[in-house]
Chain A
Amino acid sequence: MDGHGHTHSTSDRRELQMARSMCWHCQSEVSGEYFCDRCVKVQPVSKELDYFTCFGIPRRLSIDQQKLEAKFYELSRAFHPDFYQNKSDAEQTISLGNSAMLNTAYRTLRDPIQRAEYLLDLEAGAVKDIRTTPPADLFEEILELQETLDEFRASDRASDKAAALRTQLQSERATLEQRQRDMEAQILQLFGQWDALQDRGEATEQARAERSRILKDMRVILSNRTYVKNIVNDLVATIA
């Protein structure tokens, strides 16, 4: 099929996974180029396109931020609606769709937590459905905190009691934020494990088990982190 060899190098080619294999405008074949070879019209990217592929980077959790940013600017120059103001409605619509997807992809990959969540969605499949149970001590902590919050809400804000409760809540906030940081550190550790496993590229039973373990651990920690984060937000909003 590929006798020319040029498709092996995607870095400098204007190629992405596209929605259709034919140009919407001139009906000529487009094999991944995001501008039609013949009529030079912009093409819609596929909804199936995963963000890592979009930016031409491997599916790893530690990523080269500079490379990501450079690619983002490059693709933005290709798709940004500003460059399509004088073009047809169809082209404007495609530019808008591609740009929206690109922006979401960039925002997702730039942030380590969102990146991990996204990778889990891509990789996990079944793991995603595993309901996670935060550790019991976390519940106790949160239940107590909620009770204190209730008390604070019901108290007269000018009273000594409210002041004492506020101090207590501040210290609980610090504890929870520390907990959140600890979890983020744990996630970063898992990043390293995941990437190392991917780099080894083994297809053994052991590697598969390791893969599931990492994904599951990541899911658990991420979901607990969200839990703690929501509670902290609630706390901050209440005592503000």
Chain B
Amino acid sequence: MAYSDKVVDHFNNPRNMGSFKKDEEGVGTGMVGAPECGDVMKLQIKVQNDTIVDAKFKTFGCGSAIASSSLATEWLKGKTIEEAQQIKNTDIVQELNLPPVKIHCSVLAEDAIKAALADYQKKADSK
């Protein structure tokens, strides 16, 4: 199976790789994984005034999982919390041209986004 050019591009030049401190102000962290394939994905957002000003990820997994999370961080930057909620795994599938066997990678990325947003919300609410 050949990866699409976009997957290869994200894989070779991943955007926004790295991490923020978990307890930093305005940071939401999403940790997800797929036991079936052993992938693990950490996606973080930094929020100011309801807008995501920065996003980072760290993924151990296949090329598609890395590309999905890399793309997700690109898309997240500049979006409001509400807009970020709207990102769907199918958008990622379409953008990266993922084949059926790799759709679960995009699901993982969507789960990571949701988890990061939920974590941010939880921290914001508890203040």
Interface string of A228-240 (1 = CB under 8 A from B): 0011001000000
Q: Is A146 an interface residue (CB 8 A)?
A: yes
Q: Is the CB of B36 within 8 A of A226?
A: yes
Q: Is the CB of B38 within 8 A of A234?
A: yes
Least CB distance from B109 to A in Å reads 14
Interface string of A126-163 (1 = CB under 8 A from B): 00000011101011101100100000000000000000
Q: Is the CB of B31 within 8 A of A224?
A: no
Given A143-B60, A146-B60, are A226 and B40 neighbors across the interface (CB < 8 Å)? no
Interface residues on A, range: 10 to 19
- Residue of A132, A139, A231 with most chain B CB atoms under a 10 A cut-off: A139
* Cα of A230 to Cα of B60 in the assembled complex, Å: 13
Interface residues on B, range: 10 to 19
Interface string of B3-25 (1 = CB under 8 A from A): 00000000000000000000000
The majority secondary structure among interface residues of chain B is strand
Q: Which residues between 80 and 126 of chain B lie within 8 Å of chain A, taking CB atoms?
A: none
Q: Is the CB of B38 within 8 A of A134?
A: no
Q: Is the CB of B38 within 8 A of A227?
A: yes
Which residues on the A side are within 8 Å of B32 (C-beta)? 133, 139
Q: Is the CB of B35 within 8 A of A143?
A: no
Q: Is B56 an interface residue (CB 8 A)?
A: no
Q: Is B46 an interface residue (CB 8 A)?
A: no
Interface string of B48-72 (1 = CB under 8 A from A): 0000000000101000000000000
Q: Is A212 an interface residue (CB 8 A)?
A: no
- Residue of B35, B40, B42 with most chain A CB atoms under a 10 A cut-off: B35
Least CB distance from A100 to B in Å reads 25
Which residues on the B side are within 8 Å of A230 (C-beta)? 38
The 7 closest A-B pairs by CB, nearest first: A227-B35, A146-B60, A139-B31, A223-B35, A230-B38, A142-B40, A139-B33
- 11 A–B pairs (Cβ distance < 8 Å), ordered by A: A136-B31, A139-B32, A139-B40, A140-B31, A142-B33, A143-B58, A223-B35, A223-B36, A224-B35, A226-B35, A226-B36
Which residues of chain A have a CB within 8 Å of any CB of chain B?
A: 132-134, 136, 138-140, 142-143, 146, 223-224, 226-227, 230-231, 234
